[in-house]
Amino acid sequence: MSFEVTGGVYRSALLSQFPWLHHGFGGRDAADWPPVHHAAVVQVHGSRVVTASEPGSQGDADALVTATPGLYLSVRTADCLPLLMADVRQRRVAAVHAGWRGTVAGIPLAAVQAMGSRPEDVWVAIGPGIGRCCFEVGEEVAREFGRDGRQCIDLFEVNQQKLIDFGVPAGQIAAHAPCTKCTPGAFHSFRRDQAAAGRMHAAIAILQND
Ligand SMILES: [Zn+2]
């Protein structure tokens, strides 16, 4: 599934088909993204999901959900995977930050539950993050994924499979996005740039007045 790029913001064709939704994965040169008034969290690589009803910091968590029209939910990443989700039956949305810990913990599934959604009503786009090409992990992290020894892990594939196993139809998941580390011109990457790495914003909202 493809992205359309406008002003440095990547929008998934899968979610763009819903006229009542607005979403985007900001690249490193994203302008005016996300909108100034948005709800965010202090990301701690955990699996806590918060329900937001107003802009501003919602405390320590790694995912936000809302049913409030006009409220943008935002997560920040630089290699970790940003996931934007929508329950198209109840009109609820979620923004999720999933690094390897969140992936193992299944935070995208926790967000589906926090939306109060039936998995079959949920559509998901995964944005730019570190690809299998660049995500080599040691023995201990590999073990968390049920693998033996040092190897490369595909966080996109693992999150996609967990969502499918949870009941989200495969055709409602856009799980292919560029690798942040391989694409220096477009994206920040913590593994590539370390302390100098900036962060990118992924955001989603239910539009008002639809
Ligand atoms: Zn790569």
The domain spanning residue 202 has which CATH number? 3.60.140.10
Q: How close is the Cα of 65 to the center of ligand 1, in Å?
A: 30
- For the segment 7-26, what is each residue's pLDDT rounded down to a tens digit? 999 999 999 999 999 999 99
pLDDT, residue 210, reads: 56
Model confidence pLDDT, tens digit, residues 87-98: 999 999 999 999
> What confidence tier does 208 reach under pLDDT thresholds 50, 70, 90?
confident
Counted domains in the chain: 1
What would the DSSP string read from start to end of 85-147?
Answer: EEETTTTEEEEEEE-HHHHHHTHHHHHHHHTT--GGGEEEEE-SB--TTT-EE-HHHHHHTT-
- pLDDT band at 1; cut points 50, 70, 90: low
Neighbours of ion ligand 1 (CB under 5 A): 131, 133-134, 179, 181-182
Q: Separation of 184 CA from ligand 1 center, angstroms?
A: 10
- What is the residue range of 67's domain? 3-206
Rounded average pLDDT over 29-44? 94
Residues 68-74, mean pLDDT to the nearest whole number: 97
What number is the average pLDDT over the span 168-193?
96
Task: Give me ligand 1 centre to Cα 67, in Å.
Answer: 35
For ligand 1, the distance from its centroid to the CA atom of residue 14, given in whole angstroms, is 23
Cβ neighbours of residue 104 closer than 8 Å, sequence gap 6 or more: 144, 145
Average pLDDT, the chain: 96
